Chains A and B, each alone.
Chain A
Amino acid sequence: MAVRTLLFLAALLVLALIAPLLIANRFLIDVLTLILFSAFLGQSWNILGGYAGQFSFGSVVFFGTGAYTSSILLMTFGIDAWIGAIAALFAGAAVGAFVGFLSFRYGLRGSYFALITLAFAEVFKVLANSVEFTGGGIGIFIEHEPGLARLQFDDPAGYYYIALALTVVSLAIAWWLERSRFGAYLKAIRENEDAAEALGVNAFRCKMYAIMISGAMGGVGGTFYAQKFLYIDPPIAYGVATSVEMLLVSIVGGMGTVFGPLVGSFVLHGVNEVTRHYIQTPGLSLIVYGLILIAIIGYLPNGLIGLFKGRARPKDAEDA
C-alpha cells in the first residue's frame, strides 16, 4: 500500500479516536456509533456476499442469534456480556455452519441461496416467537447496569468506542482477505466456481469458512445491539430490514472491497438523516432516499468505491 494511503488511514483512525472529545453533541455521537455499527454488520455481509459472491438475504439470522445468546446468558444465568459476546460469536458461527452446510452441500447458488437464507431468518423468527426461553413475543428486557464487563455505558462514547473497535477489526479481516490465499480463493469462487474447483480450490470448504466468519461477526454484532438498546424481540432480532441494510451498505459502498461497507454506511445513513431533517412532507424523504439508491446501484455497479478505483491503471496505458 502506498505510504500516502497509509498516512491517510492513520489520520482517519486518530480522528475517529478523538472524535468523542471534539463532539459535545450526544446525538451526533450516537449517529456515528450507528454508522460504524452498520459498517461492521455490512462487512459481515460483504465477506460472504461481496468476496465469496454468496448473496445472503437473511444475514440477520446471525445477528439475531448472537443477540439472543448473550441476552439469555445475561438475564437468565447472570453471565456478563463480554463472555456473552464470545458465546454469541460461536453461536453466530454455528448458525453460519448450519445454514452453509445445508445450502452449499446441496449446491444452492445465486437466488436459491438468497431465498434459503431469507427462509432461515424467518424460521428463526417464528421459533423465537414460540419458545419459552427467548421470552417469546414479549422479548427480553436487558437491565442497564453500566460497566465494561456488561458492555454498557452511561456515556455514549463507550458504545462509540466499541463500535469503532468492531469496525476496525472487520476492516482488518477484509484487508487480510485482500492479501491472502483464502481471500483469492473466495474471489475465484465468486467469479467462477467451476473454474476455481478445476484449479484445486475446495469451494465447499471455502464457502463454509466464509459463512462462519460472517456468522461470527454478525453474532458479536447482536450482543452489541442488545447491550446498547436493552431490548430485543423476534422482529428486532430477525427482521428482514437488518438483512437488507447489511447488503445495501455493501452494495452502495462497493461489494468485495475493504472500505465499501464503511463508505456505504456513511453515505446511506448520512442521506437518511439529511432527508429526514430537511424534507418535512411525510414519505417524501423515503422517495428521495430510494432515488439516490437507484442512481447509485444503476450508475455505479462497483459502488461508490468504484469512483476512486476507476482511474486508469498505468499498466493498461502502456499496453494500449
Chain B
Amino acid sequence: MLDVRGLSKSFGGLAAVSNVDLSVDAGRIVSLIGPNGAGKTTLFAMVAGFLTPDAGSVRFQDRDLAGLKPHRICGRGMVRTFQITQPFAGLTTLENVMVGAYHRTADRREAATRARAVLDRVGMAAQAEQPADGLTVAGRKRLELARALATEPQLLLLDEVMAGLNPTEIDEIVGLIKQIRAGGITIFLIEHVMQAVMNLSDYTYVLNDGVLIAEGAPAEIAADPRVVEAYLGHGAAERMRTPEDGHA
C-alpha cells in the first residue's frame, strides 16, 4: 500500500533521515520506533507531503506522490496526525472533526452527523460542543485521531498518539487503534515508547539517527541488540546480556 524508497532529508548539515526503505501492507498495523530525534516525524512529514525529500520516492497505492501537496495526498486516502497536536483552537471539538468530515461531503448536516459518529467512536461525544483549546492532552490526542478518521482514509499515519497519556488512557487508545484496523483502515504509527507498540503492531521498523537499523516482528525487534543499544546507549546490549559482569 505504501512504499518508501531511499528517502532522505537533511537540515543544514544534519541528516535527519538517510536513505530509508520501508513498506506498509494493506490491512496491517506497522510501527516506526526510535529514540527522540531519530527522524521519525521528519519521515512522516515527507510521506504526507509536508516536507520535500532531498532524495527518494514515496508511492501510495502504486502511484508516486512526488510533489503532491498534503491536501492532495489526503484526497488519495492517506492522512497524518501531528505529534505536537494542532487543534483548530477557536473551534469546538465537533467543528474540528467536521473539517475532516467535509472531505467526503459538502453538506453541513451530513458532515455534522458523520463527525458526531466519529466522536462517539473515539469516546469524545460528551466534549462535542466544548472549545478544542480547553481539551486535556489526552483529549487533544484523541481529537487528532478523530479528525483524521473523519476524512475516511485508507491509511492512517499516527505520530505518537500515546505520548503523555497515563496507562489507562494508553490502553483505551490501543483498543481504539485495533478497532480502527478491524474497520479496514491500514495503520502506520510512530511511537517513542516501545512497550505500547509491542502488542499492537504486526511489523516494526526501528530508526536511529535517521537510519533504519532494524525491522521485523515486534518480538524479534525487542531482542535485537542494536535496538536495545539505540535506546539505552552504547554498550547497553552488552551490559544487559551479562548483567552480573561488573566491568563490562
Contact = CB atoms under 8 A, between A and B. Distances in A.
Contacts of B74: 197-200
Contacts of A191: 87-91
A315 B75 contact: no
B87 A192 contact: yes
A205 to B, nearest CB: 9
Interface string B72-84: 0011000111100
B91 A197 contact: no
Contacts of A241: none
A311 interface: no
Interface residues of B, number: 35
Nearest to B80: A198
A316 B126 CA distance: 9
B229 to A, nearest CB: 34
Given A187-B91, A192-B88, A196-B99, A313 B129 contact: yes
Given A191-B90, A194-B86, A200-B75, A184 B130 contact: no
Contacts of B106: 180-181
Contact of A188 (B75, B88, B108): B88
Interface string A279-320: 000000000000000000000000000000000010110110
B111 A199 contact: no
A15 interface: no
B86 A184 contact: no
A203 interface: yes
B95 A200 contact: no
Nearest to A179: B108
B129 A195 contact: no
A79 interface: no
A180 B151 CA distance: 17
Contacts of B126: 318-319
A179 B111 CA distance: 11
Contacts of A198: 48, 50, 70-71, 74, 79-82, 86, 148
A106 to B, nearest CB: 15
B127 interface: yes
B75 A195 contact: no
A191 B108 CA distance: 19
Contact of A201 (B89, B99, B129, B150): B99
Nearest to A183: B108
A111 interface: no
Contacts of B50: 194, 197-198
B102 interface: yes
Interface string A189-230: 011101111111111100000000000000000000000000
A184 B129 contact: no
Interface in B146-160: 147-148, 150-151
A199 B87 contact: no
A159 interface: no
12 contacts: A180-B106, A191-B88, A197-B71, A197-B74, A198-B70, A198-B79, A199-B151, A200-B74, A200-B79, A203-B71, A204-B69, A319-B130
Interface of A: 179-181, 184-185, 187-188, 190-192, 194-204, 313, 315-316, 318-319
Given A192-B86, A192-B87, A198-B50, 17 more contacts: A181-B111, A184-B98, A184-B111, A188-B99, A194-B86, A195-B88, A195-B147, A196-B88, A196-B99, A197-B69, A197-B70, A197-B74, A199-B151, A200-B71, A203-B71, A313-B129, A318-B126
